[in-house]
Amino acid sequence: MHCIENLARIALPNDVFMATIKLYYQMGKNEHYLKLFSSDIEYIMAQNAYEEARLFFRIFFPSYKVSESRLRSLRLDSTVARNKGETVVKNTFSVFQLIHNPKGSHFHLNVTEIHDLARMLFKDVYPPEKIQYQKIERQRHSLITHEIGSKREYLEQLIIKLQETKKLGIYESVFLYLNFMVDMMNMEVFRFPEHDVIAFLVFYVMMIEEGLIASRYISFFAKLSFNAHEFKTLMEKTKFGWNEGYSEIMPLARFVLRMYHDTYLELSEFARDYAYEADLEISKSDYVENTIDKLPDVFQKDDIRRKHPFISDSTINRTLKRLQDDNKIRPLGKGRSAKWVKLYQKGSKKPSAQQLNLDLEDI
C-alpha cells in the first residue's frame, strides 16, 4: 500500500488540478442527464454495456483472437463459447451487464465483492482454486513449522487505509482511487496473472459509484482503445519505484482525467442529439436520409444505428429500401454486415454516371 501511505508527500501539479476542475464541471450536469435519459435508460445502458465489454476485452485480452462477427454472436445467451477466449468474452459481457444494470445493487469496496468480480470474469477460464487470493508464508516458527497467511488480509488493510484517508476529506476521489488501483495491482493479491485487469476494473466501477456516470451512457473504453498503447505504457510506469513508495502515478492521472473529460464531452453531444430527436417534427425517415447523406460513400447500417440509437430498425430499413428504389444507393453483399454505396455525389441526390458503372468487386 505504498501509494496510499505516501499521499501526504505528493504535491498536485497545477495542470492536474485544473483538469480535475474541468471534469467536475462536466459532472455538474449529471442530474440533467439522469432526467433526460430516464425514459430510455435501460436501452441506453444495455447498448453501452455491450460496447464497454467489447472494448474492455480488446484492450485487456489482446492475445485472444475473436472476430467482430463472433463477438456479436457471443452476446446472445444461446451462443456457446468454443474456447477460452470466447469464454472470457461471455464472462466480460456478464460483468458489464451487471455493472450497467440500472436496477442493480451498488458495488461495495470489500474483499468479498472484489473476489466475486474476479470469479465472474474468469469463470471456466481458470480452475476455481486459482481464482483465489494468494497464500503467503507470514511467519516461520521453526525449520519445520510455519504460519500461512493470505494476501486477502493485505487487501483488507489497503481498503481500510483508503477509507480512513477518504474520511479526512483532503484528497480528490479520482486521484485517491488511482493510488488505490496502483497499490492493488502491484500487490498481486490473486493467484492468476491478470492483476492489472481486476485492479482497473475495480477502479472503473468505483468511479461510477463516485459520480463519474458518463460511462453509463457513453463508452469510456472507446476513448481508452484509441489510446491503448499510451495507457499500457503509463500503467507499466507506475510499477517502477512502487516498492520504495515512489510510484510514477501523475502521468497516469493526467491521462485518466483526460479520458473521462472526453467521455463527458461526447455525452454532451449525445444528449443534444437525443433531445433534438425527441422533439423532432419532421419524418424520422427523412432524418435518417439526411444522416446517410453525411456518411462516407460506402457505409453500413451500423453507422446509422450509432447516430440514431432510438430510431427503430424498421424505419432504417424502410429508408434504405426507399433510397434503393429511387436509385440513390445500392447494397454491397447481404446480411448484417452488408455495406451500401451511394450512387450520387455528396450534396447531390442525382445518381452519378461514374458510380453507376462501379466495379463492385473492387469495393
Cβ-Cβ contacts under 8 Å for 234 (sequence gap 6 or more): 251, 252, 255
Are 204 and 320 contained in the same domain?
Answer: no
**Nearest-CA neighbor of 54 among 96, 116, 101?**
96
Question: Distance (Å, rounded) from C-alpha 182 to C-alpha 3?
Answer: 7
What tens digit of pLDDT does each residue of 99-109 get? 999 988 899 99
- CA 128 to the chain's CA centroid: 26
Average pLDDT rounded to a whole number, residues 77-98 = 96
Which CATH number do you get for residue 352? 1.10.10.10
Tell me if 199 sits within 8 A of 249, measured CB to CB: no
Partner residues linked to 133 by β-bridges: 190
Are 113 and 65 contained in the same domain?
Answer: yes
Are 221 and 296 contained in the same domain?
Answer: no
Whether the predicted pLDDT of 357 surpasses 80: no
CB-based contacts of 270-275 (< 8 A; 24+ apart in sequence):
270/217, 270/218, 271/32, 271/33, 271/36, 271/37, 273/307, 274/36, 274/37, 274/310, 275/36
Are 75 and 110 contained in the same domain?
Answer: yes
Instruction: Quickly tell me which residue has 483488507 as its cell.
Output: 156
Are 207 and 145 contained in the same domain?
Answer: yes
Are 335 and 223 contained in the same domain?
Answer: no
**HEC letters along the chain:** CHHHHCHHHCCCCHHHHHHHHHHHHHHCCHHHHHHHCHHHHHHHHHHHHHHHHHHHHHHHCCCCCCCHHHHHHHCCCCCCCCCHHHHHHHHHHHHHHHHCCCCCCCCCCCHHHHHHHHHHHCECCECHHHCCECEEEEEECCCCCEEEEEHHHHHHHHHHHHHHHHHCCCCCHHHHHHHHHHHHHHHCCECCCCHHHHHHHHHHHHHHHCCCCHHHHCCHHHHHHHCHHHHHHHHHHCCCCCCCCCCCCHHHHHHHHHHHHHHHHHHHHHHHHHHHHHCCCCCHHHHHHHHHHHCCCEEEHHHHHHHCCCCCHHHHHHHHHHHHHCCCEEEECCCCCCEEEECECCCCCCECHHHHCCCHHHC
Are 47 and 177 contained in the same domain?
Answer: yes
Higher pLDDT, 245 or 162: 162
Whether the predicted pLDDT of 145 surpasses 90: no
Question: Distance (Å, rounded) from C-alpha 43 to C-alpha 55?
Answer: 19
What tens digit of pLDDT does each residue of 16-30 get? 999 999 999 999 999
Tell me if 247 sits within 8 A of 3, measured CB to CB: yes
CA atoms within 13 A on the CB side of 197: 23
Whether the predicted pLDDT of 157 surpasses 80: yes
Whether the predicted pLDDT of 353 surpasses 80: no
Q: What percent of the chain has pLDDT over 90?
A: 69
What tens digit of pLDDT does each residue of 172-192 get? 999 999 999 999 999 999 999
The residue from 260, 276, 292 where one domain ends is 276
The residue from 276, 296, 317 where one domain ends is 276
Which CATH number do you get for residue 97? 1.10.3290.10
The residue from 276, 311, 328 where one domain ends is 276
Q: Which domain holds residue 323?
A: 284-362
C-alpha cell read off for 100: 450497467
Whether the predicted pLDDT of 347 surpasses 70: no
Question: Distance (Å, rounded) from C-alpha 340 to C-alpha 358?
Answer: 13
Are 291 and 266 contained in the same domain?
Answer: no
Instruction: Quickly tell me which residue has 477509507 as its cell.
Output: 163
Cβ-Cβ contacts under 8 Å for 213 (sequence gap 6 or more): 27, 30, 33, 34
Partner residues linked to 299 by β-bridges: 340
Average pLDDT rounded to a whole number, residues 125-134 = 95
Are 211 and 237 contained in the same domain?
Answer: yes
Are 85 and 28 contained in the same domain?
Answer: yes
Number of structural domains found in the chain:
2
